[in-house]
Structure 1
């Protein structure tokens, strides 16, 4: 009788096996993961390798691109408070307020008065600041944000070019606010190109957190 009981319960022979499924010991290997997790010292981390020695994408911020876009936002703020003409009578903020009134009358009126130019610069600078915050977040790649930033920066550049055309290419008639708008376009293009041209970082990592370099 004892031998029959032992034959019916072969898995009980080893008391250290713990719970079993259909007589087989459970698989204690860790699940394969590829995610981000914090490091005890608080350092930003990348992914975790699927297997020791496997390839993993490093999630990291684009500090240079983000700072360039933030500087574009600072230039946009200066452009709003500085005069756009040489006599210093009209600031960029005054022109933006006027553009809101012209927009209510239609896009044709906004284009005829040329008020779309300061409005585009003001809105573009605000969007660049939002994209700068996205660049400062760890990610595999910031190319999408870079493409968006490039489009916004080119729109600001088109507004500045339109202002120059309206002034008859007489740079002496332009106020410091216009030159700050030029800085918005230039810094925006540089930050966008930095984000677009920075390729994702792929490294060989152990099955543990990989700090961002």
Structure 2
């Protein structure tokens, strides 16, 4: 007899399989051609009912896609950020790890762009949480004296927007190290304490 834990694990594995197939189809074919049929074909499922069992609408599926991309990015970035000591080093690690993730996962970037460009109202919770984590990093830096005084939420939004703005070019082949270095320098200058006049 199957335990509830085993069933739950199987359900989560199926949802992840469907989300991965949706990411691939969105990246390759675009929003308009990302249908349950095309996802079913990509995932190797016998029936699109296996998708609608877990996601009753495309919007629900696209929410899962955004969550999957955020989860994958966080797992990829976490070791570098946790290894960094101090707010300035963590900011640099965040930028470099995020740009590296984008370069290594262009399909993830294109999938989220397709969802965003088509104005599907998904990903708000994940976006807000990401801004909140960045704002906390900036607050920590302000509190410890690593950063100057500024609005941490606005700075977090500016950093997120800057990375999102270059994502398409990085996914398309722009040198990620060059891009990350430029962004690190930009936000290092933006957050630096002004030296006191002598």
**TM-score category by the smaller chain?**
under 0.3
User: So what's the TM-score if we normalise by structure 1?
Assistant: 0.25
Structure showing greater radius of gyration is 1
Question: Which structure carries more relative contact order (alpha carbon 8 Å, separation 6+)?
Answer: 1
User: So what's the TM-score if we normalise by structure 2?
Assistant: 0.27
